[in-house]
């Protein structure tokens, strides 16, 4: 639980004497202060131990995505290889004294391997849900960063997030804990393509691709990763490249259609190849934040 416990300060007067003698006044006061140490801890994304998630300070998260085993796998398919992501988390000692914190993973997806390093990745210790032997000392009001290496097996559904909960527990007071989530995605950019026939010839059905009819190709793209939480570490796609080649299977429109200049992107992406006679187009989206989406469109006329 991310909470800061107030410590009690007790003040007691152990001697106060006043005397007035021959017009002179003397006084003596002694105060003892009793300070009670308390434990408090924050853990979260690298550099932001006080981050918040959608429900509070125990579900803040760091997002990461694997690259292996997701190429050319359509939505609904599964990964073809294992993949590894290294997360970085920061723990901060918010208590009144030096403390040593137990690092554990009380919840992880089945088949995942969780390892933690407290020396900047020099050495990793495997952590099971029952193993809480890894301890990290953090001085009063100081913070420290540790690495969490998460290895996911093959056969996972693509475009899905898998949560590993990392818990930090005070040894000064084992009732004081805090959780953060390391969320591994099996890819986080979704691409969906559609083609719509627009027949204005009047000599055939509206959906018939007769000579002179136009075909509008639409490529919808979205960042499916979570955007909730203040200070949580989100996934951002940069320089997202969407390429459409009319000669590359399963496309076959390069030989049977002509390009109509006027391609567009709802997010203002840089479109290359939008010219007469073009047989391929490329859309470069500079930045796509978590939860954002857009549509790239272009038209072709049937020869």
Domain boundaries, the chain: 41-185, 189-302
| Whole-number Å distance between alpha carbons of 209 and 215 | 8
* pLDDT digit string, tens, across residues 246-280: 999 999 999 999 999 999 999 999 999 999 999 99
Q: How many Cβ atoms from other residues are within 10 Å of residue 19's Cβ?
A: 9
Element (H or E) spanning 166, and its range?
strand 161-170
Q: What residue ranges in the chain does DSSP mark as E strands?
A: 9-21, 24-35, 41-45, 61-65, 83-93, 99-107, 113-117, 125-126, 134-138, 143-152, 161-170, 177-185, 189-198, 214-223, 237-245, 257-265, 270-272, 280-288, 293-302
Query: Domain 41-185's class?
Result: mainly beta
| Whole-number Å distance between alpha carbons of 53 and 247 | 46
| Whole-number Å distance between alpha carbons of 98 and 141 | 8
Q: Categorize the per-residue pLDDT at 131 as very low, low, confident or very high, splitting at 50, 70 and 90.
A: low
Domains 41-185 and 189-302 share a fold: yes
Task: Tell whether pTM > 0.85.
Answer: no
For the domain covering 189-302, report its CATH number.
2.60.40
The predicted structure's pLDDT at residue 11 = 26
């Amino acid at each position: 639980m991310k909470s800061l416990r107030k410590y009690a300060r007790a003040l007691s007067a152990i001697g106060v004497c006043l005397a007035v003698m021959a017009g002179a006044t003397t006084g003596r006061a002694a105060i003892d202060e009793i300070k009670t140490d308390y434990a408090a801890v924050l853990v979260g994304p690298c550099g932001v131990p006080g981050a918040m998630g959608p429900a509070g300070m125990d579900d803040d998260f760091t997002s990461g995505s694997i690259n292996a085993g997701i190429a050319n796998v359509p939505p609904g398919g599964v990964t073809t290889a294992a993949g590894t992501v290294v997360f970085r988390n920061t723990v901060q000692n918010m208590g009144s004294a030096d403390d040593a914190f137990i690092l554990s993973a009380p919840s992880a997806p089945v088949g995942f391997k969780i390892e933690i390093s407290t020396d900047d990745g020099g050495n990793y210790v495997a952590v099971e849900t029952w193993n809480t032997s890894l301890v990290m000392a953090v001085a009063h009001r100081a913070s420290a960063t540790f690495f969490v290496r998460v290895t996911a097996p093959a056969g996972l559904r693509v475009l899905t997030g898998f949560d590993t909960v990392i818990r930090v527990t005070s040894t000064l007071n084992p009732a004081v804990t805090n959780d953060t989530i390391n969320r591994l995605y099996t890819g986080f950019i979704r691409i969906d393509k559609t083609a719509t026939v627009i027949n204005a010839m009047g000599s055939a059905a509206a959906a018939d691709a007769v000579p002179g009819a136009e075909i509008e190709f639409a490529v919808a793209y979205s960042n499916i990763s979570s955007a909730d939480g203040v200070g949580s570490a989100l996934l951002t796609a940069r320089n997202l490249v969407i390429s459409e080649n009319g000669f590359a299977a399963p496309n076959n429109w390069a030989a049977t259609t002509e390009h109509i200049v006027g391609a567009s992107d709802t997010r203002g992406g840089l479109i290359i190849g939008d010219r007469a006679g073009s047989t391929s187009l490329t859309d470069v989206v500079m930045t796509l934040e978590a939860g954002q989406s857009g549509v790239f469109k272009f038209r072709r006329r049937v020869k």
